[in-house]
Structure 1
Amino acid sequence: MEELLSRRDFLKRGGGVLLSMYALGLASCGGRASEGEDGAEWEPSRSVVMIVPFDPGGGSDILGRAMAAGLEEVRPGLNINVENRSGGSGAVGYSYLLEQRGDPHFLLASETAGVALPITTETPFHWTDYTPVAQIAEDATLLVVRQDAPYQSLPEVIEAAGAERVLVGVAGATGLDTIVTSLMEEDQGVEFERVVFESGGEIVAALLGGDIDIAMLNPGEVIGQLEAGDMRALVVFADERYEGEQLADIPTAQEEGVDVTFTQYRGLFAAGDISPEERSYWEEAILEWAETQSYDEYIERNYLISEIRAGQEFEEYLREYETTLEGVLGESGG
């Protein structure tokens, strides 16, 4: 698990320089990365579609719209239309991209569901059917409780789960909250009682209303409640604490004796079977956006962790990610 998270500070520790060197290296090979053997550069010939496989307003929707705007920013004249194609916990959107095989004018805002869905359900696709362009961020999970909850630490939650019923809210079988809960159960030998909701917003409401005892939520989903003092975050399931002032005091699960670190990737997929020149165009463009102020603002505003992996490195990461998910979700797979 730690191996998946070892590049968390990529940009902070000089990733911007490395990205610049990457782009220069591509240029030295005969123009931009998208230049073909005949010397012609590939560029989109019409408007591009950014598929968001979830409803408007959520983290994936924010990701898709941020990437669309960012790509338009670094490629003047490019037009990207965002389309929400939700359903089946993301399966509808991914299936739609599958139908666009070979067409570089279709992109998708991808996250954990793209790898997890084929493990747990019968789907017509696997992540290798697409072209993984780049990861641009990680989303960590907080274990949160109501302000008046009896638990003051993660060990107290674990102790309670071993002696009584502890209700945890989750959003679906492949969500980050379900995965982290399963990893915690495996690591500590306890069992939580899951209550399934449709969204993080419903989980927040249920926790505040006393219908569940704990929740695994992303910082962006609960920052308002944390600031208002309605909730407390006991731990973050990442290998390092957040650096921002608002979240810096939250310990990691490992600090509390629970060996669980898992984050949700956020990144860009293109349709499968596109040419190397077409793939390089999108890789180069997304890497350029990762060096802009608008990218930094996206990361900061949504309490994400900046993490860049492009091309082959992203594919290798996804293979390791899939192995981890198979260990957690495989028993429920189709």
Structure 2
Amino acid sequence: MSVRRAAGIVAGLGAAALTLGACSGGSSSAEEEGGAAAFDPGDRLTMIVPMGPGGGSDLSGRSIAAGLEEVTEKTISVENQEGGGGAVGYANFLGLEGDPSYLLATETALVNLALTEDVPFSWESFTPIMKVGQDSTIMVVPQDAAYGTCTDVVDAARAGDVKVSVSGGVTGNDAIQFGLIEKDQDVTFQRVPYESGGEAIAAVLGGHVDVALTNPGEVVGQLESGDLKALCVIAEERYEYEELADIPTTVEQGIDVTFSQYRGIIAPGGISDEAKAYWVDASKKYVETESFKEYMATNYMQADPLFGDDFTSYLEQYEADLAAGLE
């Protein structure tokens, strides 16, 4: 079985999620539909971002918070709680059990950490509210680097050390993706850890590492300015966005590895049905706004909103597929 198939975190996963959404018709359980109008989460609302400033998680959390402010007419402050590749923020979020005035900008690290580290939480510890979509990672290097493709990087790793930035900790998305490439191509990279995507980009720009993996929204400016160049997308199919459409995929280059990560929001565990309904209803209104469309386009995301119980079903499948890919 190929690494791409085993990982199960490929475009097919996104397709499965789309099917889920289509089957549900955007509907939700009765508990999510009732009680939202009468519920009030209070006036001191906070969006936790469990990663450092400047990366994709930070961009996601701040964009979603701004969009929810628009539809709820409430102020939502954003608080970065970085550390441990997201573990610090998620662990702190456990202590907010039952408090509907807090949300957290979540992504794949929530599932990664529970599968690979001894942490006191899993996605089941919290209340899934909304998945906004997913994106695929781009491998980038400085513009003057000798590498022209991801295959060149793999060949260089066979011949000697290639320093790669790994944001989000030793078990984060970058580490998993480089690990899958190592497994598929029988090579080893020299990993240099960073807390956020912003730090990883700064490291490759500063020549501290040779290669970085990054989300398109984090790096498109440097690609357009010519400071960085893209070698490949860790995906089976190319991006359709005009700015990214010319970047080949790993599969095109003979590397049988793909990966996509979701982004969304969760609430603390143990909140009331009315509180869950309030945030699910607000999220559904958010995805109908121009703010949502702008966030998707600006960050080159693949829109695929899922809410409440449908998001829960997605996470169940995502965890199973990710676990299979890590075996």
Indicate the residue corresponding to 1:165 in structure 2: 161
Question: Are residues 1:190 and 2:187 paired?
Answer: yes
Question: Are residues 1:262 and 2:271 paired?
Answer: no
Q: Which residue of the other structure, out of 110, 113, 124, is the alignment partner of 1:114?
A: 110
Quote how far apart the aligned CAs of 1:64 are: 2.0
Question: Are residues 1:224 and 2:221 paired?
Answer: yes
Q: Could you tell which deviates more after superposition, 56-65 or 238-247?
A: 56-65
Question: Are residues 1:134 and 2:143 paired?
Answer: no
Q: Which residue of the other structure, out of 93, 113, 128, is the alignment partner of 1:97?
A: 93
Change (3 A) 1:290 1:239: farther
Change (3 A) 1:276 1:238: farther
Contact persistence 1:19–1:287 (CA under 8 A): no
Q: How does 1:1-334 map to 2 (within 5 A)?
A: 1=8, 2=10, 3-6=12-15, 22=26, 33-35=33-35, 41-76=38-73, 78-171=74-167, 172-327=169-324
**TM-score, normalising length: structure 2:** 0.85
Query: How many residues were matched structurally?
Result: 316
Change (3 A) 1:215 1:86: closer
Q: Deviations over 1:44-86 (max 9, x none)?
A: 244322222233333222222222221222223x332323333
Contact persistence 1:34–1:278 (CA under 8 A): no
Q: Deviations over 1:5-43 (max 9, x none)?
A: 2268x5xx9x8xx799646x88xx79x81338xxx8333
CA distance in 1, matches of 2:323, 2:221: 34
Which amino acid letter does the alignment assign opposite residue 306 of structure 2? R
Which amino acid letter does the alignment assign opposite residue 4 of structure 1? L
Contact persistence 1:144–1:217 (CA under 8 A): yes
Q: Which has the higher contact order (CA 8 A, sep 6+)?
A: 2
CA distance in 2, matches of 1:91, 1:198: 11
Quote the sequence identity (%): 48
Contact persistence 2:223–2:229 (CA under 8 A): yes
Contact persistence 2:48–2:78 (CA under 8 A): yes
SS of the residue corresponding to residue 254 of structure 1 reads coil
Which amino acid letter does the alignment assign opposite residue 228 of structure 1? S
5+ long unaligned stretches in structure 1: none
Change (3 A) 1:279 1:83: same
5+ long unaligned stretches in structure 2: 1-7
**TM-score, normalising length: structure 1:** 0.83
Q: Deviations over 1:251-283 (max 9, x none)?
A: 121122222221221101011122333212211
CA distance in 1, matches of 2:82, 2:201: 22
CA distance in 1, matches of 2:124, 2:299: 28
Change (3 A) 1:204 1:81: closer
SS of the residue corresponding to residue 232 of structure 2 reads strand
SS of the residue corresponding to residue 307 of structure 1 reads strand
Change (3 A) 1:211 1:43: closer
CA distance in 2, matches of 1:162, 1:200: 26
Contact persistence 1:34–1:42 (CA under 8 A): no
CA distance in 1, matches of 2:189, 2:95: 39
CA distance in 2, matches of 1:69, 1:211: 34
Contact persistence 1:101–1:272 (CA under 8 A): yes
Change (3 A) 1:208 1:53: closer
Larger Rg: 1
Contact persistence 2:91–2:120 (CA under 8 A): yes
SS of the residue corresponding to residue 252 of structure 2 reads helix
